A and B are shown apart, each in its own frame.
Chain A
Amino acid sequence: MRAFAKILATVYALLLYGFIFLPVVVLVLFSLQATQFPIPPFTGPSTRWYAAVLADTRLTTGLLHSILVAVGSSLVAVTLGFLSAWGFARFYLPGSAFLRGLITLPLTVSYLIIGMGLLVLFNRVGIPKSLAAAGIGHVVVNLPLCFAIIYSQMGDHQINIERAARDLGASEWKVLLLVTVPVMAPAIFASFFLSMTFSWDEFVISFLLTRFETTLPVEIWNLLRSGLNPKTNAVGSLVFGVSIVLVVAFELLLFRRKQS
């Protein structure tokens, strides 16, 4: 009976992980296809489609744009998120709980709504569709996340450390730069990498807010419109690989300290 339950549990686990990872495995597998179509039978392995991706200037430019937007928007989101977390954690504000809720609210709103809202707003204000506009959109969605992560890690035990710095003659700016930021570094880097991950494969906002210069996910979508091709698999695998690296960096930074 117990053996049966164990088999059942194993089968269930296999199905579950299969369900989650099979699409990715298929994507990566057929990116190594040697022939023209990403359909069985598997004819590889071959790196020919990766070479094709790297030779395609539209894709490589999109890649650069994606990196630019991801790094830029994450830097802004982390800076603003850190400052607001610090403000909420260290100073008394009237209606603090309500304002904190308001900051994290964009997390619950769909990217489509945020993208459309920004599109309408930018139209009105006269900001043209561009990488910068998409970057602003990514700040809107990632700022709440950075705020939530950093705020959760900003405990009371750091208050006395900051007080000690002030007591020894440090100005507010020096307290922030020499004490608070270094002490909070793991949470700051973790939220930076998570923000990068989300910006990196974000499609809807970039699609709505860019025109001539655009990010990699939008370029991939353009590529897909002309039909399936192992090149889309290859570029998709590249996007996936980068995401994995960023998420692992995030997890290592945020959870490493708790184990030690």
Chain B
Amino acid sequence: MNAPLVDVRNVSHRFGQASVLHNVSLRIEAGSYTVLLGPSGSGKTTLLSILGGFVVPTEGNVFIRGEDCTAVPPAKRPTTTVFQDYALFPHMSIGKNVAFGLRMRGVDGATRAQRARSALKLVGLADAFDRRPHQLSGGQRQRVALARALVVEPAVLLLDEPLGALDLKLRRQMQDELKALQKSVGTAFVHVTHDQEEAMALADHCVVMNDGRIEDEGAPERVYSQPATRFSATFMGESTVISGTVAGSRSGIITLRTPVGDISLPGEATPGSTFSLAVRPEHLLLGEPAGSLGLGEAVVGDVVFQGSFRRVLATSKRDPGIAFLARLATGSPVASGDTVAVSCRPEHIIRLKD
């Protein structure tokens, strides 16, 4: 098997007393779009800074193209970063901004200008060459930052919450453009975000981080449909989580004792052990002809219209501590205050590791 483009091995990092990364290992393949997804304080930005060379990890190593780059300064490693605030040079024209990296590499002026122009063309800003950063809008500056980082042909492009400062519409549009750009240049992108929709839309490889650890990683479809942990089930999309204990396990069928009643599922488990299940909102059935797996009755609380669907919160009658979260068609007759039967199909139940 070929060595990956980037290989992060057993990296831990502490800022003073505070430990921000715990034994993180990550492989990034050439040409992939990796998204580091997590809440603030999850260590995702620190991991990106370690990849970029701005932070040297307390423990562990970073290999890029097989070379140990752990302590190589940013100027000397084959990565470039698109900063959250874009960090354009305010005293230089857009063309000079984009050409800066080539200038540092000793490329002659004419070649520099020509390559800067084609990089700007790539991001759709061909006519901004002679303008200044303050004359551009946020979205345009974002593109300039992208062109500036891509023009030096890095092995890995690092993006630190690049869409965070843009409004929703522009963010969705830039999201599509980023994905298209990555496919056309073929450079590996590593993108940090706390927006799970952005992560699902962009990633080939989605890395869910929490509290300095990688909770789950894989194709976004897999991470969404089969989240490995309770955290990724609730952070990457929403879920109803039910905990219980294993009451019995016999011939490939386990019986779980939960606050909403006993549930039987195919699988193996040690009787007496604790257990958590998750169900995605679009898989919960409320009031309809019951799915094959009953989850008791619930009282409907909030019903929120969200355009193409209605988001419904319902509280279990058996255990008010359990809140069912469902996504219903706008035509569904369920209203606030109704008592409804809750069910789902066994194949939609997700078993979680805590």
Which residues of A come within 8 Å of B, CB atoms? 157, 160-161, 163-171, 174, 178-179, 182-183, 185
Minimum Cβ distance to chain A for residue B121 (Å): 20
Inter-chain contact A167/B80, CB cutoff 8 Å: yes
Inter-chain contact A163/B101, CB cutoff 8 Å: no
With contact pairs A165-B100, A179-B89, A183-B90 given, residues A171 and B75 touching in the complex (Cβ less than 8 Å): yes
Inter-chain contact A169/B104, CB cutoff 8 Å: yes
Supplied contacts A165-B89, A168-B148, 15 more A-B pairs, CB within 8 Å: A163-B54, A163-B74, A163-B87, A164-B89, A167-B54, A167-B79, A167-B80, A167-B149, A169-B75, A169-B101, A171-B75, A174-B104, A178-B100, A179-B89, A182-B91
Minimum CB distance partner of A161 in chain B: B87
Q: Which 7 A-B pairs have the closest CB atoms?
A: A168-B101, A169-B104, A160-B87, A164-B87, A182-B91, A167-B74, A161-B87
Picked from B52, B89, B90, B152, the residue with its CB within 8 Å of the CB of A169 is: B152
Chain A residues with CB under 8 A of B89: 161, 164-165, 179, 182-183
Alpha-carbon distance A178/B90, docked complex (angstroms): 11
Alpha-carbon distance A161/B145, docked complex (angstroms): 11
Q: List 13 A-B contacts (CB under 8 A).
A: A160-B83, A160-B87, A161-B88, A163-B81, A163-B87, A164-B87, A167-B54, A167-B81, A169-B76, A169-B101, A170-B100, A178-B100, A183-B91
Q: How many A-B residue pairs have CB under 8 A?
A: 61
Alpha-carbon distance A163/B73, docked complex (angstroms): 11
Alpha-carbon distance A111/B87, docked complex (angstroms): 42
Q: Is B105 an interface residue (CB 8 A)?
A: yes
Alpha-carbon distance A167/B152, docked complex (angstroms): 11
Alpha-carbon distance A164/B76, docked complex (angstroms): 13
Q: What does DSSP make chain A's interface, helix, strand, loop or mixed?
A: helix
Which residues of B come within 8 Å of A, CB atoms? 52-54, 73-76, 79-81, 83-85, 87-91, 100-101, 104-105, 148-149, 152
Minimum Cβ distance to chain B for residue A147 (Å): 22
Minimum CB distance partner of A159 in chain B: B87
Minimum Cβ distance to chain A for residue B147 (Å): 12
Inter-chain contact B100/A160, CB cutoff 8 Å: no
With contact pairs A160-B85, A179-B89 given, residues A168 and B152 touching in the complex (Cβ less than 8 Å): yes
Minimum Cβ distance to chain B for residue A185 (Å): 8
Minimum Cβ distance to chain A for residue B71 (Å): 15
Minimum Cβ distance to chain A for residue B316 (Å): 49
Inter-chain contact A164/B83, CB cutoff 8 Å: yes
Alpha-carbon distance A164/B81, docked complex (angstroms): 7
Chain A residues with CB under 8 A of B76: 169
Inter-chain contact A168/B91, CB cutoff 8 Å: no
Inter-chain contact A157/B75, CB cutoff 8 Å: no
Minimum Cβ distance to chain A for residue B35 (Å): 20
Chain B residues with CB under 8 A of A165: 89, 100
Chain B residues with CB under 8 A of A174: 104
Minimum Cβ distance to chain A for residue B183 (Å): 24
Minimum CB distance partner of A160 in chain B: B87
Chain B residues with CB under 8 A of A157: 85
Inter-chain contact A170/B83, CB cutoff 8 Å: no
Chain B residues with CB under 8 A of A160: 83-85, 87
With contact pairs A163-B54, A163-B74, A164-B81 given, residues A170 and B87 touching in the complex (Cβ less than 8 Å): no
